């Protein structure tokens, strides 16, 4: 029995209008969660491929750095980029099992969304902050770049990383958190309806 079937059964039951209206949204909410998960996986793939391309560049920068400070910056960048695919992978929950009870399937979705929220909210600490320090040391410590170019490069990098931080916070606020809260409301609806143990399998 899938979530559409559960919604149909609940609609046929003697439920109040408020609960009935909420049941009408059940399939839509699940579709949004599935679509968002697909977006997350595409994002993870893009960023992992970018990391694979950037790590050799960071290693080259380390080897060819003109000063120890610049080399340290390149090393920090290499480590930051290398950590990215592993951090993305740990935040990606396993694909849901369609044989799980419906309430458990929703709990899996909620856990997945919470993990993505934590990932994006903490990006400043584990990714964007170290990357900013790495770039600042690499450009600032270089003996081959003029002071004006150093300032321009550093400003450009900080603006770019700041924009990524803003996009992360916006994604949490507008996509992940509202969907997670709506799914959590379904958990409460499951408890009220007594349908917690119904399987999500077709």
94-110 pLDDT tens trace: 665 666 666 777 788 88
Determine the 3-state secondary structure of 101 from DSSP. Answer: strand
Q: What is the CA radius of gyration of the chain?
A: 23
What per-residue confidence (pLDDT) applies to 68? 92
What are the C-alpha distances in Å from 6 to residues 26, 29, 30, 132?
9, 14, 13, 49
Q: What is the pTM of this model?
A: 0.72
5-25 pLDDT tens trace: 455 545 555 555 655 565 566
* Closest among 30, 35, 134, 9 to 81, alpha carbons compared: 134
Residue 67's CB is within 10 A of a number of other CB atoms, namely 15
67-85 mean pLDDT = 91
Quick one: 46 exposed, middle or buried, by C-beta within 10 A (0-12, 13-18, 19+)? exposed
Answer whether residue 169 shows pLDDT above 90: yes
- Domain ranges for the chain: 3-193
What per-residue confidence (pLDDT) applies to 109? 83
Distance CA 6, CA 12 (A): 10
169-190 mean pLDDT = 86
pLDDT bin (cut points 50, 70, 90) of residue 192 is low
């Amino acid at each position: 029995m899938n979530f559409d079937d559960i919604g149909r059964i609940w609609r046929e039951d003697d439920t109040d209008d408020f609960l009935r209206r909420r049941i009408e949204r059940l399939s839509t909410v699940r579709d949004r969660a599935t679509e968002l998960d697909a977006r997350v996986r595409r994002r993870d793939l893009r960023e992992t491929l970018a990391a694979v391309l950037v790590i050799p560049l960071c290693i080259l920068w380390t080897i060819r750095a003109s000063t120890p400070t610049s080399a340290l910056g390149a090393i920090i960048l290499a480590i930051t980029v290398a950590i990215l695919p592993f951090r993305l992978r740990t935040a990606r929950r396993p694909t849901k099992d369609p044989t799980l009870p419906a309430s458990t399937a929703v709990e899996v979705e909620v856990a997945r969304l919470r993990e993505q929220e934590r990932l994006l909210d903490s990006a400043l600490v584990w990714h964007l902050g170290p990357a900013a320090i790495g770039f600042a040391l690499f450009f600032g410590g270089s003996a081959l770049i003029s002071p004006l170019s150093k300032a321009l490069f550093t400003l450009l990098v900080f603006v770019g990383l700041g924009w990524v931080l803003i996009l992360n916070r916006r994604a949490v606020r507008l996509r992940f958190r509202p969907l997670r809260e709506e799914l959590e409301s379904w958990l409460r609806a499951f408890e009220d309806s007594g349908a917690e143990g119904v399987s999500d399998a077709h």
